[in-house]
């Protein structure tokens, strides 16, 4: 049975997050218009205060029962303030989720205090993760890995302390030889070469990183260095997506919810009501649109919550996490565009944040696997096709 009961402590944290959102919204436009600016000292201070208050309510960052689901619920509400601005002082990135999913206890101890980003994409591929061309070779003389290659579109590549990078031990062995490695940014041979200018989530930096004979200790490999059979080898690295996709989906749902709640408020100011107990024939077109959007957001949310609660129970959730992300990606794009349309020219204006949310939300249907790739994963699993039978 699925149980989404929310602990009183989490409820308190969700309420506090809504309070914290007021400040984040007040600074969101500044960082949207000033891409690649570091957080202003006064903003940093307030964001840190907010984060400290949240930590107090949650009682510390120790992983415990329901940790994934709690994080997902909080992530959605945080994203309603802004999907990335609070992340300017973040201490945990997508790479940390990957570490938590597959690292040994010793590695967790070593790396979880670092802010880790995730570097999979390269100039030669995005969706087809089997095409990793960055290489990792073991130097038997020093027992170090030597990494060579280029990673692009690394979220928080500038701000992070370390990068979880996918690299191949032997390109001829295909997926099985792809492993993830933790590269601390200050290692010689690890260079940030470019920062992207983007459509949305402009408070989040997106970087290119080059590894040139970059040496890291042997123990910086996540999982086993053994190259297992081709069909199972990449499970280790792919498993990280199961942990990160629910977070990305809930971030998007938060943006969609922000746009929808804001639009409802503006319509309510004009006298509209949104009754749940009236027949569809008695509702206006706008009322129907709003209620449909709400129902779709709820559907996406519950799919994502299901995938997160499965993680908490250590159940395999690849299917559910892809279903949630595919549904969320579609719904939020639709919701944000419709909200801009319903609000008319003011929806398109920079006076409000709705146009920004419309730009921001697109990314949730791109990173950690596009909507089309999620549908492929879902179809393969539901229909029982192997990767090479449906691509």
Q: Which residues sit at the interface with ligand FAD, rule CB under 6 A?
A: 94, 117-121, 126-127, 153-155, 198, 206, 363, 366-367, 369-370, 372-373, 376, 391
Complex with ligand FAD: residue 386 or 391, whichever CB lies closer: 391
Complex with ligand FAD: residue 127 or 130, whichever CB lies closer: 127
Complex with ligand FAD: residue 124 or 344, whichever CB lies closer: 124
For the question of residue 229 being annotated catalytic, the response is no
Strand partners, 222: 180
Tokens read off for 120? 């999979």
Complex with ligand FAD: residue 295 or 390, whichever CB lies closer: 390
Q: Which residues contact 192 (CB under 8 A, 6 or more apart)?
A: 157, 158, 185, 207, 208, 209
Strand partners, 180: 166, 222
Complex with ligand FAD: residue 86 or 163, whichever CB lies closer: 163
How far is it between the farthest Cα atoms of the chain? 78
Complex with ligand FAD: residue 357 or 367, whichever CB lies closer: 367
Nearest distance from C-beta of residue 363 to ligand FAD, angstroms: 5
Nearest distance from C-beta of residue 201 to ligand FAD, angstroms: 6
Q: What's phi and psi for 310, nearest 5 deg?
A: -65, -35
Catalytic residue among 76, 196, 320, 368: 368
Nearest distance from C-beta of residue 66 to ligand FAD, angstroms: 26
Nearest distance from C-beta of residue 166 to ligand FAD, angstroms: 8
Q: Which residues contact 157 (CB under 8 A, 6 or more apart)?
A: 117, 119, 151, 163, 192, 205, 206, 207, 208, 209
DSSP 8-state symbol, 197: -
Q: What Å distances lie between residue 285 and 155, 246, 272, 333, 342, CA to CA? A: 39, 32, 12, 19, 11
- Measure the CA angle with vertex 371, ends 384 and 178; round to 5°: 70
Q: Which residues contact 128 (CB under 8 A, 6 or more apart)?
A: none
Distance of CA 19 to the CA centre of its chain: 22
Nearest distance from C-beta of residue 360 to ligand FAD, angstroms: 10
With CA atoms as reference, report the closest residue to 84 among 339, 361, 311. Answer: 361
Question: Closest CB to ligand FAD belongs to which residue?
Answer: 126
Tokens read off for 69? 């689901």
Distance of CA 383 to the CA centre of its chain: 27
Sign of CA dihedral 226, 165, 91, 184: positive
Complex with ligand FAD: residue 155 or 168, whichever CB lies closer: 155
Q: Is 147 helix (H, G, I), strand (E, B) or coil?
A: strand
Nearest distance from C-beta of residue 250 to ligand FAD, angstroms: 17
Nearest distance from C-beta of residue 373 to ligand FAD, angstroms: 6
N- to C-terminal Cα distance for the chain? 33
Question: Which amino acids are annotated catalytic?
Answer: 368
């Amino acid at each position: 049975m699925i149980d989404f009961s929310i602990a009183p402590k989490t409820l308190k944290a969700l309420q506090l997050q809504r309070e914290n959102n007021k400040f984040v919204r007040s600074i969101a436009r500044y960082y949207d218009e000033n891409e690649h600016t570091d957080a202003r000292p006064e903003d940093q201070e307030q964001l840190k205060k907010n984060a400290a208050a949240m930590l107090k309510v949650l009682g510390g960052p120790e992983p415990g029962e329901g940790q994934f689901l709690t994080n997902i619920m909080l992530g959605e509400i945080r994203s309603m303030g802004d999907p990335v601005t609070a992340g300017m002082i973040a201490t945990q990135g997508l790479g940390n989720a990957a570490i938590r999913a597959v690292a040994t206890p010793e590695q967790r101890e070593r790396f979880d205090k670092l802010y880790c980003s995730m570097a999979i994409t390269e100039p030669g591929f995005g969706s087809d993760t089997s095409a990793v061309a960055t290489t990792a070779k073991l130097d038997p003389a020093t027992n170090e890995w030597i990494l060579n290659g280029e990673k692009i579109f690394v979220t928080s590549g500038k701000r992070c302390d370390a990068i979880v990078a996918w690299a191949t031990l032997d390109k001829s062995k295909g997926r099985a030889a792809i492993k993830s490695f933790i590269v601390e940014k200050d290692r010689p041979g690890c260079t940030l070469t470019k920062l992207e200018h983007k459509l949305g989530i402009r408070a989040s930096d997106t970087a290119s990183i080059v590894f040139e004979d970059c040496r890291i200790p042997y123990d910086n490999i996540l999982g086993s260095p053994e190259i297992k059979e081709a069909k199972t080898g990449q499970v280790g690295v792919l498993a990280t997506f199961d942990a990160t996709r629910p977070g990305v989906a809930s971030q998007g749902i938060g943006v969609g919810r922000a746009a929808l709640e804001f639009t409802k408020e503006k319509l309510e100011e004009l006298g509209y009501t949104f009754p749940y107990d009236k027949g569809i024939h008695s509702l206006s077109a706008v009322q129907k649109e709003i209620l449909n959007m709400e129902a779709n957001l709820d559907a996406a949310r519950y799919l994502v919550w299901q995938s997160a609660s499965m993680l908490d129970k250590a159940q395999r959730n690849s299917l559910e996490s892809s279903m949630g992300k595919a549904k969320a990606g579609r719904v939020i794009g639709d919701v944000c565009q419709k909200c801009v349309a319903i609000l008319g020219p003011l929806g398109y204006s920079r006076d409000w944040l709705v146009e920004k949310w419309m730009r921001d939300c697109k990314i949730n249907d791109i990173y950690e696997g596009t909507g089309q790739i999620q549908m492929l994963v879902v179809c393969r699993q539901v229909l029982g096709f192997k990767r090479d039978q449906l691509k």
